[in-house]
Chains A and B, each alone.
Chain A
């Protein structure tokens, strides 16, 4: 998916990121992305994050799942430069199959991105409307609405 409004060339080949680069960034899961239109809290978070120089990451698997819940939302998110789509890489796939083999692909992708890595020892925090989705995993969770 192209990122037509993004003023920064993040990845020349695709226009979006393969890996998260900012340890303070937040991963928006399917529930957070699907709530963008209906929740003023989520809209305020998206509008405020750039003021704090915090990137918001949207895994492509979550974008697909959110668009199934709210058809058309993915096109809007693609035009919001505050939200950076993250591809599903082969490394992510190996991690999610190893760490979360029995959960839905979008949830497993979030888990794979949020777990600590050598380059991101603290992992990435997850912004979600349903924190219980990640209750069995040792992740940093930022529940939306609290």
Chain B
């Protein structure tokens, strides 16, 4: 890839153990250390991004379906989402 304009970059400091691990993980993922770090950080969302997602999702459900969760529905949904342990699905098979 040829860039027409300089691409801004920043340096970060890590300890030797982290650096060695980054080299290995980046190689296993077929990328550079910078590419691997970028992959890691784009896989996570900030609090502000989560808040935007929550707002956009609620707005869309309201606009398209007239859905607004009641306090009870929200509490039930949050309890459902966080309940643990979740059930395992495999049936117990009879042994002969």
Q: Could you count the A-B residue pairs with CB atoms below 8 Å apart for me: how many are there?
A: 115
* 0/1 interface trace, chain A 1-44, chain B, CB 8 Å (1 if under): 00001111110000000000110001000000000010011011
Residue of A nearest to B62 (CB): A47
Size category, B interface: 20 to 34
Contact A47 B43 (CB under 8 A): no
Given A44-B69, A141-B86, A142-B86, A136 and B91 contact (CB-CB distance below 8 Å): yes
* CB within 8 Å for A138 and B60 given contacts A40-B73, A48-B74: no
- Chain A, interface size category, equals 35 or more
Across the interface, do A137 and B90 meet the contact criterion of CB distance under 8 Å?
Answer: yes
Q: Determine if B78 and A51 form an interchain contact, defined as CB atoms under 8 angstroms apart.
A: yes
Pull 18 A–B residue pairs with CB atoms less than 8 Å apart, ordered by A. A5-B60, A6-B53, A21-B43, A37-B65, A43-B61, A43-B65, A43-B67, A45-B81, A47-B77, A50-B50, A50-B53, A52-B78, A80-B61, A81-B57, A125-B86, A138-B88, A139-B89, A140-B86
